[in-house]
Amino acid sequence: MVVPKFNYGDIVQFHQNDNNYYGKVEIIDEYGTWGTSSNVPSYDVFSEKDNCLFKHFKEPNLRLIAKANTVTEKAFLLAEQAHAGQKDLAGVDYIFHLIGVSQNVRDIIIEEPIIATAFLHDILEDTNTREDALSVMFPKEIVDAVRTLTRETKEAYEDYLNRVKTNEVARIVKLADLQHNMDITRIKNPTKRDFERIEKYRKAMLFLQD
C-alpha cells in the first residue's frame, strides 16, 4: 500500500501555467489512479485565495508549506492575513516571498519553530500586528526570533545584523530571507539599484555565515 506524503488539510504549493499557487489538500487518491495505472499518490488541492479546486496533482509536483494543525500552519495563516494586499519588489503577492523563505529554511532544516518564524519574520515590521498579540499565539522562542528579525527605526544595518547573529533561529531565517531576496530572476527588468541591493545582501550573508 502506498502511504501518501501529504494529509487532508495540509497546505501545499504548486505551479500551473507558469503561475504559483497554494492551497489545502482536499482529496487524496493513494494509488494515483483516476483512470491511469500509477502507484504515485495524486491530490486535489483547493485554493481559497483563487476559489478554485485544482485536480490530479502527482505527489512530486507538490511542495509542503505547512502540515495541518501545527504551529507552522498557524504562522502561515496569520502571515497570509496580515500581509494581504502587500506586494514584493517583483510585484508578486508578498505571501509568496514568505513561502520562498520558508522553503529555503526547509531545504536545510525541518524544525517547526524555525519554519514558523520564516512566515512571521516581517510581521512586526511591515504590518499592524503587535508583539503582545504574537506572544498570545506563539511560543517564546518564535516571538523572540521575530522580534530580533524586526529592524528598529533608524537602526544601522550593521547593528541590525549583529543583533540577528545573537539569535540562532533569527540567523537561520535571515539567511533564508537574504537568499530569496538575492534571486534576481524574480525581477523582470532588474536595474542597477537591484544589483547594488543584491551585493549588499551578499555581504550580509557572508557576515551571518561567519
Please say whether the beta carbons of 208 and 161 come within 8 A: yes
To which residue does cell 509542503 refer? Answer: 64
Mean pLDDT of 40-65: 94
Looking at residue 38, its pLDDT comes to 61
pLDDT tens digits, residue range 64-91?
999 999 999 999 999 999 999 999 988 8
| Across 6-20, 29-43, 141-155, least confident range | 29-43
Cell triple for 86: 502587500
pTM of the model: 0.92
Provide the mean pLDDT of the chain.
Answer: 94
Residue with more model confidence, 172 or 34: 172
Give φ, ψ of 3 to 5 degrees.
-100, 115
Looking at residue 3, its pLDDT comes to 81
Q: Work out the percent of the chain whose per-residue pLDDT is above 70.
A: 95
Residue with more model confidence, 183 or 185: 183
Where does the pLDDT of residue 190 fall: very low under 50, low under 70, confident under 90, or very high at 90 and above? Answer: confident
Q: Which of 34, 24, 25, 36 is nearest to 56 (CA)?
A: 34
pLDDT tens digits, residue range 10-38?
999 999 988 999 999 999 987 665 555 56
Cell triple for 190: 532588474
- The residue type of 200 is K
Task: Judge whether residue 39 has pLDDT over 90.
Answer: no
pLDDT tens digits, residue range 112-141?
999 999 999 999 999 999 999 999 999 999
Looking at residue 185, its pLDDT comes to 82
